[in-house]
Amino acid sequence: MSIEDRVINLEQAFLALNTLAKRADERHDSVSESIKLLTQMIQHHDERFDRSEAEQSNADARIAALADAQIRTEDALKELSATQSNADTRIAALADAQIKTEEALAKLTEKLDSLADTVERHIKESH
């Protein structure tokens, strides 16, 4: 093999190496962009997760408040039953109280349904 052949081979090898280096640079850039995109996706996920946790905590507090209100309502009904007499006026008063309790329970149910809808909407919006 002559020197010219060797020089030509070296030039071809250099061109091939140069092409390989360009491809490696392109792949490196592509991997860097992918890492950047993944990092952004993770950050967005963390933000949504933090919002979900806050919303869940808020919902838990509201549910606990509703449970406390329900317990107080149940306690009030027990006290009312304990003090009830057989008199017609007391029965009428109890019937009136029962109607009010049912109305309050209906309103509470509406509010709970509304809360559930709001929580579901927030969860859907955060996804």
13-27, 36-50, 57-71, 85-99: lowest mean pLDDT where? Answer: 85-99
Going by C-alpha positions, the residue among 104, 96, 42 that lies closest to residue 73 is 104
Q: What is the pLDDT of residue 126?
A: 82
Q: Which two tokens stand for residue 36?
A: 């950047």
Distances (CA, A) of 125 to 64, 107, 113: 24, 26, 18
For 47-83, give one letter per residue: b (16+ CB within 10 A) or e.
eeeeeeeebeeebeeeeeeeeeeeeeeeeeeeeeeee
Domain ranges of the chain: 3-126
Q: Which two tokens stand for residue 105?
A: 């329970």
CA distance 30 to 51: 32
Confidence at 88, pLDDT banded by 50, 70, 90: low
Number of neighbouring beta carbons within 10 Å of residue 112: 14
Q: What is the pLDDT of residue 87?
A: 60
Q: Taking the model in full, what pTM does it have?
A: 0.39
Q: What is the pLDDT of residue 81?
A: 67
State pLDDT tens for residues 3-17: 999 999 999 999 999
